[in-house]
Every structure is written in C-alpha cells, then in structure tokens.
Amino acid sequence: MKVILAQPRGFCAGVVRAVDTVEQALEQFGAPVYVRHEIVHNQHVVEDLRAKGARFVEDLNEVPANAVTIFSAHGVGKEVENNAHQRGLKVLDATCPLVTKVHNQGRQYAARGYQVILIGEPDHPEVIGTLGQIPSPVVVVQTEAQVATLEFSQDTPLAYITQTTLSVDDTHAVVDALKRRYPQIIGPDTRDICYAVQNRQTAVRELSQCVDVVLVIGSPQSANSVTLRDIAAETGIPSYLIADGSAVHSEWLNDQSTIGITAGASTPEAMVSDVLNALSRIAPLQIENLPGREEHVHFRLPDGLITRQ
C-alpha cells in the first residue's frame, strides 16, 4: 500500500505550549498538579500526563487549597479565574494565545458598545470560556440558518468573533450570511482563525486529491480533527476519524490503496507512527510526504514557570 502523509499535521504551537506547561509544572513543583478540563482533546496525551502525576478536574472545587492549577488550552471564563484567585491557587494559564486574542477582541467590541456575535459550537469548552470572558451578553451562532433567526434591528451595532478551530469554509459562509443580513457588522478577517487549523485544512484538501482513502488521526471531541474528516469526506472519498492504530479496519483498504493520513492539532506524532504500524501489518507500505507549509511558530510558556535552558 502507498501511504501519503499530509504536511503539516499533528501538534500545533498552542498544544505544544499546553503540554509543555503541564510537564514542566510537574518537573518544577512535583506531582500532583491539577488541570482544569483536559489540557487538549486527545486521550493519549491526557493519559500520558495523568501517568506522570497530572490530575484532571472539571471543577476547581476538586482542587486542594494552594495547589498548582493549570487552565487548559481552550481557555476559561473570568468567573473561573476569580474563583482560583479567591482560593489562593497557584495558576498557570495554558490558554492558547490565539484563543486569548479572541477574548481580547470580544472584550474590545463589547467595551465600544457592540452587540457581540460569537461564531462557534455552543458546547465547546473554547466557546464557553470565551462567553465567560466578555462582560456583556453574547449570541452564539453556528450555521447560516441560525443567522436567519437573529432578531437584531438594522441599526444595532454588531460585531462578530469566531471560535479558532472551525472550518474556514463554514465560517466564511456564516460571516457572509451575517454581512448580507447586517451590512454594518464588523469583525476580524476569517484569516484570524487559527493558522494551524487553516494549514491542516488546506493540507487535507490537497491530500484528498491524490489518495483513495483518508485517515484522520484525532479525538472525536477535537473540533479541528472532526473538521478535517468532514473536509476530506466532502471530496467524495472514504474518510475515517480514528484515535490510533487499533481503530484501523482492514476492510477499508486493499493492497492497491493509496492512503492519505493527517492528524488533528492535538494529536501527537506517536499516534501517526502507531497507525503506520497497524497498516504495515496489513500490507507492506510505501510512505511519502506530501509537500506543504512548514510551521515555525513558538509560544512562550506561561508566567510562573522556570523555563529550561
């Protein structure tokens, strides 16, 4: 079987920063350290950190007083931040800087008197955290159909912001629908969607043009991984979202197949190797890398950590 690997794929700079934050906190402060919500949406990453001494909680009330506490890459609302401060927790904020940028945009629009519309998935942790960062009511829309149900008058000052991990095409469509209905609306360019998400979406589109099957390695809880699978499926070829090599089904493939592989932004490269090992047990592999954009983004670790030299 021929295997073509997408470029780029896997970990983005925000995920690297978040995972490094937990690992260096364990090294600096010792176990346990407490992480509010899964640090990123990948069970292999979470289990690896749990084995090293991280404790994952959904509520700060589960964290002992004065304990080292890490906020996940998805971000949290002001109420969570204030609760941590009141309880005297030592907080390391691993919120992705690109998510923080969205928080800042939303607060700035609200401070200028705009009604803010957030394009995103209502139950996603990033959206919940963003809602909690903006000190005024925010309306969440996910689809063009939902835009059609908005009841703002034409003279309402409106501004939109977006979840960072959405499909660029879908977000474009919602923004266009908002602009058609409310020509006065303002907001950031859709290029403000996470650079890593955009790069991986571009790569999977290119990958889908030259393979028979696409395997997207990632968690079903990972919005960007699900989007990669959806984009590949839209091209009309079989596309599967799998967590690791154990999820590969031989009936998806044959020894003449050309298989495309990519990975979500929270998927470690070890899981790509695991899938390749699983495929090699079905048939000998010929592996190629699809040329693509190289990423050189690096984010500084949160305040409170002594960085390695």
Residue 170: partners with Cβ closer than 8 Å, 6 or more residues away: 227
Q: Are residue 67 and residue 111 in the same domain, yes or no?
A: no
DSSP 8-state class, residue 64: P
Six-digit token pair at 34? 């407490």
Q: Which residue has the higher pLDDT, 229 or 255?
A: 229
Q: Structure tokens of 230?
A: 């959806």
pLDDT at 193: 74
Confidence (pLDDT) at 309: 46
pLDDT digits 0-9 by tens, 83-102: 999 999 999 999 999 999 99
> What is the predicted pLDDT for the residue at 58?
94
Question: Are 34 and 84 found together in one domain?
Answer: yes
Does residue 51 form part of some domain? Answer: yes
Domain stop point among 136, 164, 192:
192
Cα gap 86→53, rounded to integer Å: 25
Look at residue 168 and tell me whether its pLDDT is greater than 90.
Answer: no
**Is pLDDT at 70 greater than 60 in this prediction?**
yes
Residue 64, domain CATH: 3.40.50.11270
Residue 26 lies in a domain: yes
Q: Above pLDDT 90, what percent of the chain?
A: 90
Query: Same domain, yes or no, for 79 and 123?
Result: no
Same domain, 275 and 205: yes
pLDDT interval class at 269 (50, 70, 90): very high
27 lies in the same domain as 80: yes
* Dihedral angle, C-alpha 71, 77, 78, 81, nearest 10 °: -20
pLDDT at residue 255 greater than cutoff 80:
no
131 and 147 in one domain?
yes
What's the pLDDT score for residue 256?
A: 72
Which CATH number does the domain housing residue 145 bear? 3.40.1010.20
Mean pLDDT for all residues in the chain: 94
Write down which residue in 172, 192, 212 finishes a domain.
192
User: Is 105 found in the same domain as 22?
Assistant: no
- Letter string b/e over residues 200-215, b meaning 16 or more CB atoms within 10 A of that residue's CB: bbbbbbebbeebbbbb
Please check whether residue 271 lies inside any domain of the structure: yes
pLDDT above 80 for 27? yes
Tokens of 170: 């879908």
- Residue 25 domain flag: yes
The string of pLDDT tens digits covering residues 36-69 is 999 999 999 999 999 999 999 999 999 999 999 9
User: Per residue in 191-204, pLDDT tens?
Assistant: 667 889 899 999 99
State the greatest distance between any 2 C-alpha atoms of the chain, in Å, as a whole number: 64
Residue 234 sits in the same domain as residue 273: yes
Alpha helices in the chain (DSSP H): 13-29, 43-52, 78-86, 97-111, 125-131, 144-148, 168-181, 195-208, 223-234, 269-280
pLDDT classification of 189: cutoffs 50, 70, 90:
confident
The count of structural domains within the chain is 3
Q: Does residue 145 belong to any structural domain of this protein? A: yes
Q: Based on the domain organization, do 180 and 106 belong to the same domain?
A: yes
Q: Residues 265, 202: one domain?
A: yes
DSSP type of residue 268: -
Please report, as a single letter, which amino acid is at residue 267: T
Asked if residue 241 is part of any domain, the answer here is: yes
CA distance 201 to 182: 28
- Note down the domain range covering 65: 13-95
**What is the mean pLDDT of the segment spanning 29-40?**
95
Residues 183 and 201 in one domain: no
Q: Are residues 185 and 216 in the same domain?
A: no
Q: Is residue 301 part of a domain?
A: no
Catalytic positions: 126
* Identity of residue 27: E
- Residue with token string 């295997």: 3
Q: How far apart are CA 236 and CA 234, in angstroms?
A: 5
Reduce the DSSP state of residue 87 to 3 states and report it.
coil
Rounded to the nearest 10°, the torsion over CA 202, 207, 209, 211 is: -160
Residue 245's pLDDT band, with cuts at 50, 70 and 90, is: very high
The last residue of a domain, from among 174, 192, 210: 192
